[in-house]
Amino acid sequence: MVRKRIAVLYGGKADEHSISCISAAGVLAAMDDERFEAVLIGITKQGEWLTGCTDPRDFDFEQQALPVVSAGPGTSHVVLDMALGADGFFARDEHSGAEGQSALTSLGHIDAVLPILHGPYGEDGTVQGLLEMLGVPYVGCGVFASSACMDKHFTKILLKSAGIPVAPGITLDARPYAAADTFAANGDDFITKVRAAGLHYPLFVKPSRAGSSFGVTKVEREGDAAELAAAVREASRHDWKVLVEQGVDAREIECAVLAPRADRDILASWPGEIVLDRRESGNDQFYDFDSKYMDSDASHVQVPADLPGEMLDRVRETAIKAFKAVDGTGMSRVDTFVGADGSIVVNEINTIPGFTPISMYPKAWEATGISYGELITALIDGVLESA
C-alpha cells in the first residue's frame, strides 16, 4: 500500500505555541504509520516554517520548560510555490547552490495537511486561506468558520442569530487605552459600561481572539474599578478586542463534534466535564492555563458528564446546532454552560481543540467508542475522500 503523505503543521506564532507542540506529539504517536507518512513542518514563534527540526514525539516533556520550535543544525526553511499546489512544498538549503543563492529540495507530493495549530495564525482562518489558495486538502474547519470562531465576539453574534443562548457581555476596544497605558485611569468608565449592560458579578474578562485561558481574569468585587481595569489591561496584552462577560452559575460541559465529510451526518460525542479537583479548597476557581496543562492534580476529565441522559442529549443537539450555525466542517469542540434549571448556554467553539492524549476532544470520542487513532484516521480520510 502506498502511504498518503500528510504534512503536519505544529508550533505557530500564537501564545499556544507549546500546546500545539504537545498536541502534535500525541497526534503523531497515534497516527496510522502503515497508511500515512507524516511530513513534519514546525512553525517558530516568529512565523518561520521549518523542516528537519525536532520531532514532537522526541520532546522531553519532563523538563520545566515547555517545548518550542526553533531553528538549528539540520533545519531548513520551508518554501511554498503556489503554482505547484500539492507539489509546491520545498526545503531551502542556505549552504548549497550557486554563490549567493540557495538550493531548493522538494518535500515531495503532499496529499493533505493536518494543522495542529492553536490560536491566531493557525486556528483563525489564516493558514486555512493559504492552503485554499495552494489547493491542498486540509483537516478541519474552513476559512469562515475558523475565523468566526477564533473571534469570540463574532461567534456570539452568529450563535445569537441562530437562536442559541450565549453569556451576556460587552466588547471593549482596548487600543485607546493601550498607547499611554491609561487603563487604571479609565476604570470608572469600564464600570459604567458594565452597569449600563446590566451585567452581574462575577465577571470574566478575556481576549476575544485567544485560547487556553491566556489573558483571562475573574473579577469578583463589584464596583472595584481598579480590579476591572487591571483585568482589561491583562486581556489587552493578547488582543485589543476584549470581552467582559457575566459569569454563568452553571457547570461547564464540553461536547466534541466530528464531521469528516460534508455529505455525511454530523456526529456529537458524549458530553464531558472538566472536574476541578481543588475547587472545594478554594483553589483553581476556573479552568485556567495551569489547570489545563501544567498541574495534573488540578483537574480530571469525566465523560460522560454526571448529568441525566435527557440533558446529555440536549447538549449534543445544541453542539451540532452551533456547529452548523458557524458553517463548521471536520471537527470542533463546543463548550457550553449547563445550569441547574436545565438551561444551556454556548460559551465558545474551538475549531482546532486541544489534541493531547488527555484533552477533552479525544477523551470524549474515546468514551463514545472512537479511539484516538481511529479519530485521526477518520479526519484524514474525510479530506482525502472529498478531494
Q: Which has more pLDDT, 386 or 81?
A: 81
| Per-residue pLDDT band at 277 (split at 50, 70, 90) | low
Q: Domain for residue 78, yes or no?
A: yes
Any catalytic annotation for residue 212? yes
| Greater pLDDT, 286 or 114 | 114
Q: Same domain for 20 and 70?
A: yes
| CATH number of the domain within which 173 lies | 3.30.1490.20
Same domain, 342 and 267: yes
Checking if the pLDDT of 289 tops 50, the result is no
Answer yes or no: 371 catalytic. Answer: no
Domain that holds residue 320: 149-165+249-351
The Cα–Cα gap between 225 and 291 comes to 28
- Whether residue 8 is found in the same domain as residue 99: yes
CATH number at residue 323: 3.30.470.20
Residue 208 annotated as catalytic: no
- pTM recorded for the entire structure: 0.89
CATH code at position 127: 3.40.50.20
Tens of pLDDT along 203-229?
999 999 987 678 999 999 999 999 999
Name the more confident of 211 and 241: 241
Do 291 and 185 reside in the same domain of the chain?
A: no
Same domain, 130 and 83: yes
What are the binding residues for Mg(2+)?
335, 348, 350
Contact 246, 313 (CB under 8 A): no
Task: Please tell me whether residues 263 and 214 are part of one structural domain.
Answer: no
Residue 154 shares a structural domain with residue 85 = no
pLDDT, tens digit (0-9, with 9 covering 90-100), for 165-195: 999 999 999 999 998 999 999 999 999 999 9
Distance CA 320, CA 378 (A): 18
Looking at 20, 76, 212, 299, which residue is catalytic? 212
User: In this structure, is residue 381 part of a structural domain?
Assistant: no
- Determine, yes or no, domain membership for 362: no
Binding site: which residues?
152, 204-206, 212-213, 245-252, 335, 347-348, 350
Residue numbers belonging to the annotated binding site for ATP: 152, 204-206, 212-213, 245-252, 347-348
pLDDT digits (tens, 9 = 90+) for 34-79: 999 999 999 999 999 999 988 999 887 776 678 999 998 889 999 9
Q: Supply 298's cell numbers.
A: 488540578
> Residues 234, 273, 359, 366: which is the catalytic one?
359
Number of domains in the chain: 3
Asked whether residue 197 falls in the same domain as residue 329, the answer is: no
Q: What is the pLDDT of residue 66?
A: 86
Of the candidates 217, 246, 275, which is a domain's last residue? 246
Q: Which of 31-40, 151-160, 272-281 has the lowest mean pLDDT?
A: 272-281
- CB under 8 Å to 26, separation ≥6 — which residues? 355, 356, 357, 359, 362, 372
41 shares a domain with 91: yes
Query: Is the Cα dihedral 41, 46, 48, 52 positive or negative?
Result: negative
Residue 198 has pLDDT above 60, yes or no: yes
